[in-house]
Chain A
């Protein structure tokens, strides 16, 4: 008998009588407001900038990231073209990435990016700085509301603030391996 068959038959023998799967109720006592989202985002080290539309994008980026030239983006602000076949060296040199997220979660400040939103799967992680454009209508209250809305992606990630670690004496350090800053542009 191969390992698969052996293991499955041992589990079948050892498992308890069937326990019913609970129904998950809908959770309604959480707010999906900009205020709640921003509070959560700031707490985890992220920033938020509100703007009316994307016409002021270039000005805002130039003000916030002066001197930064190597920009990859799904918006027409990119200085470097990135697609799924872009090589490591090019990706490694990127300073700023600006992507559009499908939804944000108020309770924890996370935004959702699926592989179709990120040009290359490594892009949101290898960049020094990450900016995510989010429509205020796309803020949901909790993870329950988020998972209800998400279409199953080949690859997708909730990103909540900048990369961080507390592995040395519990001291919080922002900028572990991934993006050093994370900014949500709310339109």
Chain B
């Protein structure tokens, strides 16, 4: 199903759509307040963008440097071409360490690789420990946002889910008490965990360290009890120097949730005594994206989610309508690289207003790339027939002054004489679904200008 078809379903519940829209706009407003408090914020964005550009232009060498230094720290580094190889590496580590209890903090990469269902198929249960992720794991749903995975749910939904899975009283919908129930439940999982899986927000070539950012403390609680730590990272997570963390940690949380920094910013360089640490470096299509000149800068993304919170289409359609691990504007330029046909509707899930590019902390030209993907969809024959025909027709009309003028005249006439029920019939005019047409003018602007201004 295309994005617009799914969005239509989402919009079936008007109040829920409005609530979703306002919840995310609230996060965007918090972001603005946090950003305006930092006088050099724009300078930081430029620096972050330049550092990422530099890193991508020397990515192979930085990955080699990172691996070398991580090895020196006693970390085992693995390389995975695709999701399947990533999943197999992790399963092997779990089996070799004879582990039963696995905890995982938030990692969009493991979602992208569908690690949980893979491990489950092989008899390994994973407990997601981020509160939002635990909620959607209970409900067997994918995340609908990369920072706020359960943003599509109301507290009543969470109350119902926890009643079923954690035995909280029926009708208990208080976020404080629901969070407390999850705290008690997950603390047991932390202290008995054998293996802790995390993602990585940043990997530092210079030191071989990774940095993980959370607000709940679930990554550290998992890793610091377990005997094995496995961190999954995409190839684009590497940054050159330890000092560069200062730029990215100032940008990330402010852009994501409007916090000055995440509650925990954790730096893992060496495993603790008696424990082991593994890092899985994953490609899964990223190196291919690096080769696409128009789209490679999408690899600069630090996964803050600001483009989602600001996007008028995301806010009023929800993350699940994108049908891709990373939804919203950034997801819409990443997804077509993975599967052009399957995700062909995503670059059209945008008004091209450019707000995503304006808030991006690493200055990715997201809306330009959305536009460029549309051109490719057209060339690759990945457009639905109706859209294609209407594009061809529109091009013909706009290319001829004569045809354009005649059709304009005709349209004004028809709009004037037709009854409201006809001009606003949604099967003829989908534009009028939630909008009123303006009163059609008597003449075109061109005619008006000729009469009123041209002679003077």
Contacts and interface: CB of A to CB of B under 8 A. Distances in A.
Contacts of A158: 249, 261, 264-265
Contacts of B178: 168
Contacts of B151: 170
A126 B244 CA distance: 30
B177 to A, nearest CB: 9
B263 A177 contact: no
Interface string A154-166: 1111111111111
B269 A8 contact: no
B216 A22 contact: no
A24 B263 CA distance: 25
Contacts of A173: 175-176, 179
A64 interface: no
Given A155-B267, A160-B261, A168-B175, A126 B81 contact: no
Interface size class of A (residues with CB under 8 A): 35 or more
A178 B50 contact: no
B221 A115 contact: no
A146 B247 CA distance: 11
A107 interface: yes
B102 interface: no
With most chain A CB atoms within 10 A of its CB, the pick from B50, B216, B240 is B216
Contacts of A142: 246, 250
Contacts of A157: 220, 264-267
A148 interface: yes
B272 A84 contact: yes
A20 B191 contact: no
Contacts of B262: 160
A105 B260 CA distance: 11
Contacts of A146: 246
Given A168-B158, A178-B217, A121 B63 contact: no
29 contacts: A7-B235, A14-B287, A14-B291, A15-B59, A16-B57, A17-B57, A21-B54, A22-B50, A84-B272, A88-B191, A92-B191, A107-B250, A122-B225, A125-B224, A143-B250, A154-B269, A155-B272, A157-B265, A158-B249, A163-B215, A163-B264, A165-B131, A165-B215, A166-B257, A167-B149, A168-B179, A170-B148, A176-B183, A176-B217
The 6 closest A-B pairs by CB, nearest first: A178-B217, A14-B291, A108-B260, A167-B132, A176-B216, A122-B224
Interface of A: 2-4, 6-8, 10-22, 24-25, 27, 29-30, 40, 43-44, 84, 88-89, 91-92, 105, 107-110, 115, 120-122, 124-126, 142-144, 146-148, 152-171, 173, 175-179
Interface of B: 23, 26-27, 38-40, 43, 46-47, 50-51, 53-54, 56-60, 63-64, 73, 79-81, 85, 129-132, 135, 148-151, 153-155, 158, 175-176, 178-180, 182-183, 186-187, 190-192, 207, 209, 215-218, 220-221, 223-225, 235, 240, 242-247, 249-250, 257, 259-270, 272-273, 281, 283, 287-288, 290-291, 293, 296
